[in-house]
Amino acid sequence: MEGVADRLSMEQLLAATVPPSTAARDGSQMTAVLGYYLSGAIAFGIIIIGARFLFAPHAAAAGFGVPVSPDARWDAYLSVKAIRDIASGLFIAILMVDGSVHLLGWFILAGALIPLTDALIVLRHGGTKAAAFGIHGATAGVMLIISGLLLSD
């Protein structure tokens, strides 16, 4: 028995997965689809990172590039980071569900300031260049590419 995807043409499948305002434009359709799904990966990833900061804050801080010793005051700041990350991922997911491709692109573009600033924080507080550029700089670069895919017409 053939599946639903087998019965749909590629055009129909793309039209079903991309918001109508994007599906109508053939030239940027594939780039929007790619940007849309990569945005989902960013949303999922940042929610997972936020959860790690909530449930394993000191290990997450070390992974961030600025390890901290166990201290109730640090725990408060790490919890703030956790909630910020989880909320950022949820904002992306909400824009994806709504199908606001351009708004999602602008949100991802503005959100790229977060990992850029994180890289500066890591460098300023004695973290390694590998963590600053390899984790945070790379994330910012990927976010800039995704926003370009979403905003291209």
Backbone angles phi, psi at 80, to 5 degrees: -60, -45
pLDDT-wise least confident of 8-12, 126-130, 139-143: 8-12
Q: Compute CA 52 distance to the chain's CA centroid, rounded to the nearest angstrom.
A: 16
Torsion of CA 53, 79, 87, 49, to 10 degrees: -10
Mean pLDDT of 1-23: 44
For the chain, what percent of residues have pLDDT higher than 90?
71
The pLDDT value given to residue 19: 54
pLDDT of residue 26: 56
Mean pLDDT, residues 32-39: 92
Residue 71: which pLDDT band, with cuts at 50, 70 and 90? confident
Exposure of 76 by Cβ count < 10 A (0-12 exposed, 13-18 middle, 19+ buried)?
A: exposed
Note the pLDDT of residue 73: 85
Q: Over the chain, what is the mean pLDDT?
A: 85
**Maximum Cα–Cα distance across the chain:** 60
Q: What is the mean pLDDT of residues 29-37?
A: 89
Instruction: Note the pLDDT tens digit of each residue in 86-118.
Output: 999 999 999 999 988 999 999 999 999 999 999
Instruction: Identify which of 45, 72, 47 has the alpha carbon closest to the alpha carbon of residue 58.
Output: 72
The more confident residue out of 58 and 17 is 58
**Confidence band, pLDDT 50/70/90 cuts, at residue 17:** low
